[in-house]
Chain A
Amino acid sequence: MIKEIREPLVFEISEAGKRAAELPALDVPVKKDVLAGVPLRREIEGFPEVSETEITRHFTRLSQKNYCVDMGIYPLGSCTMKYNPKINERLSAHSAFAASHPLAPEDLVQGNLEVLKKLEGFLCEIAGMDAFTLQPAAGAHGELTGMMLIRATLEARGNARKSVLIPDSAHGTNPSSAHICGYTVKEIRSNENGTIDLAGLAEAMTEEVAALMITNPNTLGVFESDICRIAEIVHAKGGLVYMDGANMNALTGIARPGDMGVDVMHINLHKTFSTPHGGGGPGSGPVGVKKELAPFLPVPVIGEKGGRYILDFNRPRSIGRVRSYFGNFSVIVRALCYIMTLGPKGVREIAEFAVLNANYIRKTLEGSFTLKYPTASMHECVFSDKLQKEFGVSNLDIAKRLIDYGVHPPTMSFPLIVHGALMIEPTETESRRDLDIFIDAMKAIAREARENPEVLHAAPHVTYVSRLDEVAAAKFPVLRWEKKA
């Protein structure tokens, strides 16, 4: 490997007069009074000026400072960092889709509407729900949409109610989404298995409660085996069950939320259906509902009439739009391609291999790290740093040292009910070799924690930057480049 070049900010290599793009000469006569009276800017102050060669080198070098799924295992728990098939990139960028305008007349975008309708159908079948909307742009956006649907449904029944029950192991987006929907949040405690305590739920579930938001399998990777009983308790008091489908990767083709008493759920296409995470997005968070909630879905709904697809805006009970246009369409194309590539058997194998890989990791690391909850794991397992704490080593040290071994760390410090958590989700696409690289690194680190904890405190040792001062970043925020005075 050649010596790594420290890459400046583009603004620091900018020089007046350079450019990386030329435009054709204006082919209409110049009109002097265009935008007359409107304040125009003299220049875009601070904007960079570089050549195309410099642009290419800048972004290529920056890309090389990233770890990614294409390089190796990326076992971020609850994020489902599986391999992203390349054909899906090519097909979603096909000009027939990429060049189509969202305000085009519906008879000129029949192909796009077919894509949407097809994926809705596939998701209904996989999740066991009656209808889906593909409009939400991400998982949290799906949660918000789902909670709005619940509110609308309860309002139609006569009382929107006041609060939402959320287990203490839930993602932070759950309480936040419920809050934006105008509900107060009541946390319910997990029992010694890390699952929902039925007695506690029954006590909390009053006629003031609109819904239970549940993640199943939960964020410990544990299946809520009492799910049918849980749904009964909620339904008996007139509430609805929302399922966060972040962990759907454990269930595809094995069991369907719609068969467990779930009324509303979202699915993350960027998790379960392999669309790339893109360094933080775009995602897509379709929401599935049971019949009673379907009239409230966001507009437009894709309908069919006389053998053609139509956009149905005539939905008087709809909650309205949650996003412009139709959702993250090119992400939707990718997910469709993925399901069509896998077929029924392949979709079931997602869950089978994801759960096998996670249990293999769990079994081989038990003993080296503490498992707070011994309950059976599905697609992910959550260890803690309890054993390592004795030597003054934290989950942060373990995570940073993993980087030296060439693998991405697991999710850290979540769920909140496990102190010093290391939440590991390998996904189904990993090879034995990549799983073993991770396992061997974890075991080596467990040894180092006893024998040489200093090496962990100082990790990572091999990266472009060493451990960064996050406290200073928050205390004295520098959020943009500025020209030196």
Chain B
Amino acid sequence: MSYLSLSDKDKAEMLAATGAKTVGDLFSCIPEAIRLKRDLDLPAAQSEIELVRTIEEIGHKNGYPGHLSFLGGGAYEHFIPTVVDYLSSRGEFVSPYTPYQPEVSQGTLQVSFEFQTLVCQLAGLDIANDSLYEGATATAEAVLMAQRVTNRSKVILARSLHPQYREVVRTYIKNLGVEAVEVPYGPDGRIDKNALGRLLDDKTAAVVYQSPNFFGVVEDVRALSDGAHGVKALSVTIVAEAISLGLLEAPGRLGADIVAGEAQSLGVPLSFGGPFLGFMASKKEFLRQMPGRVTGQTVDKQGRRGFVLTLSTREQHIRRERATSNICTNQALCALRATIFMETLGKQGLKELAWQNAQKTGYAADKLAAVPGVKLRFTGPAFNEFVIELAKPWPAVDGKLRKMGLIAGYGLEPAYPELKNAVLVCVTELRTRDEIDRLARALQEVVS
């Protein structure tokens, strides 16, 4: 099996046209000493029938899909309307590249323009880019953007920010002279405002917090923004669960200067964590510091509306080492999925979806907290995740639950040693009352 399209006759004639005698002659520019003189050690070619068998066999080694799961923590299982898969699978969307030639890329470009608009509407801000890799790198880009905007070198990261996002920020800033300090959370699971007050100073470029945070608790975006603005720092809201923006007030309207994060929830499958969909929106005065591709509206020679990639003087292919970011590609196909998802759910649907998440989570929190040996760890308002603390060791509980076909959530201790036997439980619209009750019964059996 191969995807080549030349017959032996074509090959011979084309070779003759090039003046080479053999295909090997075309590689004479490679010194003999470094030419590979053997076949690559790879498995023999497989036909489609064999490949399907092999790959499905590997897939079946994943026990996960057979479980009733309450995992969240930055990756969420949500309803994906069939039209999302159907329309985003069209070859006209899947198989082109970056719209460098706008006259033959108006489909991709108009989708980008709609995506940017939808992101602005959700975030409550003026401008948005055309997507970034995923939530963690979007957070790192937001930190670097805040540094450029303020010309300051210290960022305050909430400890309740996704642990992997914090790790990636630290990896990115290590060589750039930016200092990151961590602000702890209080008993309600929200940022400890007194501690924040002590950290804020005139070196602070930004306060970077996630809302709903990694524990599912909604932060007081207004108060955090006021705090940041008090020292002329930026307020950066990271959103890892984009569905929440259907119900919670837009962070931009509560004072956030940059809203960035992960939009996987909007129609992108879990796929073991990627590809996901990073996004970023900001106030318009920071436009020149925004990383990544941006689509703009313009007109053609006849005055008809059209769309182009624009403001590329910020980008690496023009500005090289002075660019706002080294990012080149975006996540266009994931952004397309999110665009179809948002337009399909629409104004009513997205709000209702978010509301159902919050309601079911409220029900689940009450139900689990009523189990002896289980208590809620934080008192702050939860969107679709909450942390429970178990009276028994989590690894043993987890083992027993898994035998019952259940994954109750994500054990927090490895990432938060101070949270012993604490578990992050996520409840989306896809979990039914029966399933939540089943989890409660199982916990009762195992914990009490």
Closest 6 CB pairs of A and B: A325-B273, A343-B45, A96-B59, A102-B273, A278-B333, A182-B175
Contact A463 B36 (CB under 8 A): no
Interface assignment of B194: CB less than 8 Å from any CB of chain A: no
Q: Could you show 28 A-B contacts with beta carbons less than 8 Å apart?
A: A20-B344, A34-B362, A34-B381, A35-B381, A62-B107, A63-B92, A67-B96, A68-B96, A71-B91, A82-B3, A104-B69, A114-B61, A172-B320, A179-B321, A260-B34, A274-B3, A277-B96, A280-B99, A280-B331, A280-B332, A328-B274, A341-B51, A355-B26, A356-B15, A360-B14, A466-B300, A474-B312, A477-B310
Interface contact B287-A43, CB-CB below 8 Å: no
Which of B102, B322, B347 is in CB contact (< 8 Å) with A48? B347
Interface string of B239-264 (1 = CB under 8 A from A): 00000011111100010000000100
Please give, as numbers and ranges, the residues of chain A lying within 8 Å of B133 by CB-CB distance.
Answer: 137-138, 141, 282, 323
Are A103 and B137 in contact (CB-based, < 8 A)?
Answer: no
B36 touching A259, Cβ below 8 Å: yes
Cβ 8 A contact of A19, one of B176, B320, B322, B349: B349
The interface residues of chain B lying within 8 Å CB-to-CB of A359 are 18, 20, 26
Stretch among B151-159, B165-173, B202-210, B224-232 lining the A interface: B165-173
Residues of B within 8 A of A28 (CB): 359-360, 362-363, 433, 436
CA distance A91 to B352 in the complex (A): 33
Indicate whether A279 sits within 8 Å of B93 (C-beta atoms), given known contacts A125-B40, A259-B36, A340-B54.
yes
Do residues B346 and A18 form an inter-chain contact, with CB atoms below 8 A?
A: yes
Listed stretches B73-81, B368-376, B438-446; interface member = B73-81
Q: Report A299 CB to chain B, min CB distance, Å.
A: 8
- Residue contact A96 to B62, C-beta cutoff 8 Å: yes
Inter-chain CA distance A412–B103, complex, in Å, is: 15
A140 touching B327, Cβ below 8 Å: yes
Say whether B249 contacts A330, CB under 8 Å: no
Residues from chain B with a CB closer than 8 A to the CB of A122 are 42
Cβ-defined contact, B127 with A341, below 8 A: no
Residues of A within 8 A of B73 (CB): 103
Whether A191 sits at the interface, judged by CB under 8 Å, is: no
Which of B18, B56, B133, B134 gathers most chain A CB within 10 Å?
B133
Interface string of B79-93 (1 = CB under 8 A from A): 101010111011111
Interface size for B (C-beta < 8 A) is 204
* Partner pick for B92 among A70, A92, A465, CB 8 A cutoff: A70
Q: Is the interface of A mostly helix, strand, loop or mixed?
A: loop
Least CB distance from A320 to B in Å reads 4
Inter-chain CA distance A428–B10, complex, in Å, is 13
Contact of A9 with B81 at beta-carbon distance under 8 Å, contacts A63-B90, A225-B30, A467-B301 already known: no
- Does B311 lie at the interface of the complex (its beta carbon under 8 Å from any beta carbon of A)? yes
A102:B333 contact, CB within 8 angstroms: no
The CA of A29 and the CA of B15, in the complex, are separated in Å by 74
Q: Would you call A83 an interface residue if the criterion is a C-beta within 8 Å of the partner chain's C-beta atoms?
A: yes
CA–CA, A376 to B29, complex, Å?
7
* Complexed CA–CA distance, A401 and B372 (Å): 74
The residue that A94 contacts in the complex, of B35, B55, B103, B165, with Cβ under 8 A, is: B55
Bitwise interface map of B from 353 to 397 toward A, beta carbon under 8 Å scored 1, else 0? 100101111110010000000000000011100000000000000
Check: A451 CB closer than 8 A to any chain B CB. Answer: no
How many Å from the CB of A129 to the closest CB on chain B?
A: 13
Select from chain B the residue with minimum beta-carbon distance to A464: B106
In whole angstroms, how far apart are the Cα atoms of A27 and B434 in the complex? Answer: 9
Across the interface, name the chain A residue whose C-beta is closest to B105: A66
Taking the closest CB of chain B, its distance from the CB of A326, in whole angstroms, is 5
Bound-state CA distance A39–B348 (Å) is 18
Q: Does B270 contact A (CB under 8 A)?
A: yes
Assuming A176-B320, A180-B172, A468-B298, is B108 touching A279 (CB within 8 A)? Answer: yes
Q: Is the CB of A472 within 8 A of B298?
A: yes
Known: A48-B346, A76-B100, A181-B175. A324 touches B20 (CB 8 A): no
Against B, the Cβ 8 Å flags (1 = close, 0 = not) of A171-185 are: 111011111111011
Bitwise, A195-233 to B at CB < 8 A (1) or not (0) is 000000000000000000000000000110101100000
> Knowing that A59-B87, A108-B67, A279-B93 are A-B contacts, what are 16 other residue pairs whose CB atoms are under 8 Å apart, sorted by A's residue number?
A59-B93, A74-B96, A81-B97, A89-B94, A101-B75, A110-B62, A276-B94, A278-B94, A336-B55, A343-B43, A359-B18, A359-B26, A431-B5, A431-B6, A469-B300, A470-B310
When distances are taken between beta carbons in the complex, the residues of chain B under 8 Å from A36 are 381
Residue numbers in B under 8 Å from A325 (CB-CB): 75, 164, 272-274, 276
CA–CA, A118 and B298, complex, Å: 47
CB distance from A78 to the nearest CB of B (A): 11
Across-interface contacts of A59 in B (CB, < 8 A): 87, 90, 93, 111, 340
Complex contact A281–B333 (CB within 8 A): yes
Is A144 engaged at the interface, CB distance under 8 Å to the other chain?
yes
Say yes or no for B136: interface residue by CB 8 A criterion.
yes
A117 to B52, CA, bound (A): 19
- Give every chain B residue within 8 A of A302 (Cβ-Cβ): none
Asked whether A468 and B103 contact (CB < 8 A) given A28-B433, A343-B45, the answer is yes
Interface residues of A in 225-248 (CB under 8 A from B): 225, 227-228
Partner of B137, one of A74, A107, A323, A399: A323
B46 at the interface (CB under 8 A from A): yes
The answer to whether A98 and B269 have CB atoms under 8 Å apart is yes
B186 within 8 A of A: no
* Interchain nearest-CB distance for A295 vs B (Å): 16
The answer to whether A282 and B333 touch across the interface, beta carbons within 8 angstroms, is: yes
**B417: Cβ under 8 A from any A Cβ:** no
| A210 → chain B closest CB, angstroms | 11
CA distance A470 to B56 in the complex (A): 47
Stretch at the interface among A49-57, A286-294, A385-393, A441-449: A49-57
Q: Which residues of A contact B418 (CB under 8 A)?
A: none
CB distance from A168 to the nearest CB of B (A): 10
- Please, which residues of chain A bring their CB within 8 A of the CB of B381? 34-38
Decide yes or no whether B323 CB sits under 8 A from chain A: yes
Q: Which of B263-282 contact A (CB under 8 A)?
A: 269-276
B23→A352 contact, CB < 8 A: yes
**Residue in B55, B118, B171 whose CB lies within 8 Å of A47:** B118
Pair B328/A344 contact, Cβ less than 8 Å? no
Q: Is the CB of B36 within 8 A of A256?
A: yes
Contacts of B290-319 to chain A: CB distance below 8 A: 293-302, 304, 306-308, 310-313, 315-319
CA distance in complex: A333, B54 (Å): 12
Report if A346-B2 is in contact (Cβ < 8 Å); known contacts: A26-B356, A63-B92: yes
From A30, A74, A348, B39 is in contact (CB under 8 Å) with A348
B104 contacts A66, C-beta separation under 8 Å: yes
Contact B44 A343 (CB under 8 A): yes
**CB pair A68 B91 closer than 8 Å:** yes
Report chain A residues within 8 Å CB of B67. 108
Q: Which residues of B contact A429 (CB under 8 A)?
A: 3-5
Bound: A68/B245 CA distance, A: 34
Which of A10, A330, A434 lies in contact with B343, CB distance below 8 A? A10
Closest partner residue, chain A, to B166 (CB atom): A321
Q: Pick the residue among B36, B126, B343, B362 that contacts A55 (CB under 8 A).
A: B343
Q: Write the nearest CB–CB distance from B394 to chain A, whole angstroms.
A: 12
Q: In this assembly, does B350 line the interface, its C-beta being within 8 Å of a C-beta of chain A? A: yes
B145 at the interface (CB under 8 A from A): no
B135 at the interface (CB under 8 A from A): yes
* A108 nearest CB across to chain B (Å): 4
In the bound assembly, the distance between CA atoms of A176 and B41 in angstroms comes to 35
Query: Across the two chains, which residue of chain A brings its CB closest to B437?
Result: A28
Whether A322 touches B168, Cβ cut-off 8 Å, given contacts A87-B51, A91-B51, A472-B299, is yes
Which residues of the other chain, A, contact B322 by a CB distance below 8 angstroms? 179
- With a cutoff of 8 Å between Cβ atoms, the chain A residues found around residue B101 in the complex are 67, 399-400, 403, 408-409
